[in-house]
Amino acid sequence: MLERTVELVVAAPVAKVYELWADLKNLPQWMQYVDRVSLDPVRLGYSQWRFGREPLFVEWTARITRKIPLRLVAWESVAGLANRGQIEFFPVAAGCRLRLTVAVAAPGGLVGAFIQQVGLGHWLDENLLADLKRFARLVEHG
């Protein structure tokens, strides 16, 4: 599994930043390749994810492994694409510093072939940081 960490300061209070991020259904608003997140109506803390672009999608089921209000949300996949990660929230003078860590196994099929061509590490670094920047703009400017 390849692991990457990116950080960014958001000019907003930790409570506002955490509230928006912790509601997983919001993630497709700023995560470019997250097509859909559906919360499991029966199993609390479980969600189904669809990632990619038409016609190249991968899917997985994840569960929240740790949640500390205003501080941390951690997850891991339990079926489908193997991945895990966490988002941490740190109060700073300018607002909230986010630290996003994601570990992922390269998917198979056409999606995996595409990502192997561009390099998974490079692709993750660029896309995770771009996602955080989109998130910051959303929080800071509505």
pLDDT tops 70 at residue 116: no
Cis ω before 28 (30° cut-off from 0): no
What pLDDT shows up at residue 80? 94
Mean pLDDT of 7-17: 97
- The confidence score (pLDDT) of residue 49 equals 96
Top-level CATH class of 2-141? Answer: alpha beta
Q: Higher pLDDT residue, 124 or 90?
A: 90
What tokens does 97 get? 């510093």
**In terms of residues, how long is the chain?**
142
Structure confidence at residue 108 (pLDDT): 63
pLDDT at 114: 65
pLDDT score at 43:
96
Helix axes 109-118, 120-141, angle to 10 degrees: 90
pLDDT score, position 44: 95
pTM (two decimals)? 0.88
pLDDT tier for residue 110 given thresholds of 50, 70 and 90: low
Cα–Cα distance between 26 and 17 in angstroms, integer? 12
- Pairwise CA distance, residues 29 & 49, whole Å: 14
Out of 19-23, 50-54, 138-142, least confident range: 50-54
**How high does pLDDT run on average in the chain?**
91
* Between 108 and 130, residue with greater pLDDT: 130
| pLDDT above 70 for 130 | yes
* Annotated domain spans of the chain: 2-141
